A and B are shown apart, each in its own frame.
Chain A
Amino acid sequence: MEIGRGAEAILILNNNLLIKNRVEKCYRLKEIDEKLRKERTKKEAKLLSDAKRAGVKTPTVFNTTKTSIEMEFVEGKLLRDHINKARNWEMICKKIGENIAKLHENNIIHGDLTTSNMILKNEDVYFIDFGLGYESKRIEDKAIDLRVLEKTLKAKHCKRSDEFFKKIIKSYTTYEKSNEVINRLEKIQVRGRYL
C-alpha cells in the first residue's frame, strides 16, 4: 500500500515494513537520474545505520536494492504537522538539538534537516530521509546543516521559528565543537543574497 509520496520517492507499507523507492524522474537526463538515485540510496542506507550507532533514533534498515531501501516503519507524528500545536514543543526541540549534536559528533551531515524529515513517536524524535546526507568533519558543513533547518523553520513555521530554533541550538551545545559551528553559522547567515 502506498502511504506517501515525497519529492523523490514513493513509500510503500508492507506488513510493518516500509519500502522507500526512489522513482525515476523523467524530467532529467537518464545519466543524471540514475546516478542520483543510486548514490542517494546507498548513502542513505549507510547513514541511517551510522546515525543509529551514534545514538540517534532512526528506522532500522533491513535490506537495500539499487534504488530502494526496506526499513522499519516508524509509526508516529510528522513534526511538520505537529510541532506548531504541540504542548511539549520544548521537549521536542531539545531532542532535535541533541540528535543533531550526536550526528555532528560523528561527522554525519544530514543535509536536509526539515520538520518534514522528523517523526515524533512516544517521547522520541526519529530522523528520517538521509538521502542528501554525507560524511564530513568540516565545521562549515555542520553549520550549513543547521542553516538549512533554520531556513525551513522560518519558511514553514515562521511565527514561532525563532523560539524553536533557539531551543534547538541550546541543546545542540552538548556537542563539544558546537561553539565553533554556531560561530560559523552566524557568518553564513550574513553570506546569503540580499541580507
Chain B
Amino acid sequence: MICLGIESTAHTFGIGIVQNKTVIANEKKSYQPEKGGLHPRKTAEHHAEVCGEVLEKAINKSGIRIEEIDLIAFSQGPGLPPCLKIGAVFARTLAKKLGKPLIGVNHCVAHLEIGKLFTNAKDPVLLYASGANTQVIALESGKYRVFGETIDVGVGNMLDTFGRNKGLSFPAGPEIERLAKKGEKYVELPYTVKGMDLAFGGILTQAERVKEKMENVCHSLQETVFAMLIEVSERAMSHTQKKELILGGGVAANKRLNDMCKIMCEERGAKFYTVPKQYCVDNAAMIAWTGLKMHKSGVKTPDTRIIRNYRTDMVKITWK
C-alpha cells in the first residue's frame, strides 16, 4: 500500500511517500523570512507557490507513478491556520483527482509514530521539542497523553527569539549550540518547572538582560532549559513506569540535548532512542506513515476541515 502525506503546519511544506514500511520520498521546501519571525499569510503564500514543484520532486524521487498512490494523508493540525489550509486544499484536490481516500493526521502524533518506526521502541515516552511545540507525551489508556508541556512558547521558538534579538541568524539553535561550547561560566537563570509543566518566557527575558559574554549566556541558557526538559521527561518516565525515551522535534538536532537524554536514561536503566534528523524536524514522511497506519486500523476522516488547535490527546489511538 502506498500513502502520500502532506505537511504544512508551519514553515515547512513537504510531501512524503511511504510504501508499506519504507519511506520512498521525503521532499520539502521551507519558508525563511528575510527578517523577523514567520508571518502566517506570507508563509502560506510560499507554500501555495512551491506545492506543485515539491509534489513533482517527490513523485520523481519515489519512482512510482502518481496513479499508484492508494491514500492521501495531510496534517490537519495543530499549526498556523493559513498554512494548514494550503495543505488541506492541496490534499483534497489530489484525493479528488486520483479518486483516493483522504485522511487527516495530528502533527504531534505523527512525530511520535515516525519515531517509533525508526527506532523499534515499543512503548516510549516522547520528548517532543520543536519551535512551536514542547511536550512530553506517552500512550496511556488508548491516547497519547500530554504529561508535561510548555505553558508559554515552544523551546525552539524561545531559542530563536533569543538569537534574533541578539543578531544571530535563523534558526538560532545551531549558532547558540556553537557559542555554548565555548562558554565556561554558568550565569544563573530562572529554573521554571511548574509541576510537570515548563515556562520559558522568564528565562528569555533574563538571558537577554544579563550582562555577560555571549558564549557564557548561551551555555547557561542551553544548560538551564535542557535540564528542565530532561527533568520533566524523567518525571513522566517515573510516573508511567516506562523504560524508553525518544527525542524528537527540531531541537533534537542539538548534540548537548542528546547527550543529556542519554545520561539520564543510562542513570535510570532506560533506553534512549534518536530519530534520524530528517525525520526529527517537520517532514511529510511522518504524515504519510501515520496516515497509513490509521487507515489500516479503519480510521476515516469525514470532516477534512483543519483543526488549528488539534491537541495530541484528542486523537484516539486505534492502531499499535
Residues of A within 8 A of B (CB): 5-8, 25-29, 31-32, 36, 80, 111-114, 116, 132, 144-145, 147-148, 151-152, 154-156, 158-159, 191-195
Quick check: A7 and B145 within 8 Å, CB to CB?
Answer: no
CA A32 – CA B186 in complex, angstroms?
Answer: 9
- Distance in Å from the Cβ of A78 to the closest Cβ of chain B? 11
With beta carbons under 8 angstroms apart, the residue of A5, A151, A158 that contacts B268 is A5
CA A29 – CA B310 in complex, angstroms?
Answer: 36
Quick check: A156 and B230 within 8 Å, CB to CB?
Answer: no
A5 proximity list for chain B (CB < 8 A): 238, 268
B143 proximity list for chain A (CB < 8 A): 158
Quick check: A112 and B195 within 8 Å, CB to CB?
Answer: yes
Quick check: A36 and B191 within 8 Å, CB to CB?
Answer: yes
Quick check: B309 and A29 within 8 Å, CB to CB?
Answer: no
- Distance in Å from the Cβ of A28 to the closest Cβ of chain B? 4
B141 proximity list for chain A (CB < 8 A): 158-159
Quick check: A155 and B147 within 8 Å, CB to CB?
Answer: yes
Q: Can you name the residue of chain B whose Cβ is closest to the Cβ of A111?
A: B195
With beta carbons under 8 angstroms apart, the residue of B133, B193, B224, B309 that contacts A132 is B193
Q: Can you name the residue of chain B whose Cβ is closest to the Cβ of A39?
A: B191
Quick check: B235 and A27 within 8 Å, CB to CB?
Answer: no
Number of interface residues of B (CB under 8 A): 42
B259 proximity list for chain A (CB < 8 A): 27
Quick check: A32 and B227 within 8 Å, CB to CB?
Answer: yes
Q: Can you name the residue of chain A whose Cβ is closest to the Cβ of B186?
A: A31
Is B140 among interface residues, defined by CB-CB distance under 8 A? Answer: yes
CA A36 – CA B141 in complex, angstroms?
Answer: 33
Quick check: B78 and A194 within 8 Å, CB to CB?
Answer: yes
CA A151 – CA B146 in complex, angstroms?
Answer: 9
B187-238, CB < 8 A from A: 188, 191, 193-197, 223-224, 226-227, 230-231, 234-235, 237-238
Is B150 among interface residues, defined by CB-CB distance under 8 A? Answer: yes
- Distance in Å from the Cβ of B125 to the closest Cβ of chain A? 12
Is B317 among interface residues, defined by CB-CB distance under 8 A? Answer: no
CA A28 – CA B260 in complex, angstroms?
Answer: 7
- Distance in Å from the Cβ of B274 to the closest Cβ of chain A? 15
Is B97 among interface residues, defined by CB-CB distance under 8 A? Answer: no
B172-196, CB < 8 A from A: 186, 188, 191, 193-196
A116 proximity list for chain B (CB < 8 A): 238-239
- Distance in Å from the Cβ of B8 to the closest Cβ of chain A? 17
- Distance in Å from the Cβ of B226 to the closest Cβ of chain A? 8
- Distance in Å from the Cβ of B105 to the closest Cβ of chain A? 15
A111 proximity list for chain B (CB < 8 A): 194-195
Is B282 among interface residues, defined by CB-CB distance under 8 A? Answer: no
B146 proximity list for chain A (CB < 8 A): 151, 155
With beta carbons under 8 angstroms apart, the residue of B147, B151, B235 that contacts A192 is B151
With beta carbons under 8 angstroms apart, the residue of B191, B194, B261 that contacts A32 is B191
CA A144 – CA B196 in complex, angstroms?
Answer: 11
Quick check: B150 and A144 within 8 Å, CB to CB?
Answer: no
A27-B230, A116-B239 known; A194+B309 contact, CB < 8 A: yes
CA A8 – CA B237 in complex, angstroms?
Answer: 12
With beta carbons under 8 angstroms apart, the residue of B196, B238, B261 that contacts A151 is B196
A36-B191, A194-B310 known; A6+B267 contact, CB < 8 A: no
A191 proximity list for chain B (CB < 8 A): 151
CA A192 – CA B199 in complex, angstroms?
Answer: 11
With beta carbons under 8 angstroms apart, the residue of B140, B195, B263, B313 that contacts A27 is B263
Quick check: B239 and A28 within 8 Å, CB to CB?
Answer: no
Quick check: B230 and A28 within 8 Å, CB to CB?
Answer: yes
13 A-B pairs within 8 Å (CB atoms) are namely A8-B234, A27-B263, A29-B223, A29-B227, A32-B227, A36-B191, A111-B195, A132-B193, A144-B195, A148-B195, A151-B196, A194-B78, A194-B311
Quick check: B186 and A114 within 8 Å, CB to CB?
Answer: no
Mark B231-273 against chain A: 1 for CB-CB distance below 8 A, else 0. Answer: 1001101111000000000000000000111011001100000
Quick check: A158 and B238 within 8 Å, CB to CB?
Answer: no
- Distance in Å from the Cβ of A120 to the closest Cβ of chain B? 18
- Distance in Å from the Cβ of A58 to the closest Cβ of chain B? 18
Q: Can you name the residue of chain A whose Cβ is closest to the Cβ of B135?
A: A193
- Distance in Å from the Cβ of A101 to the closest Cβ of chain B? 19
Quick check: A156 and B195 within 8 Å, CB to CB?
Answer: no
Is B149 among interface residues, defined by CB-CB distance under 8 A? Answer: yes
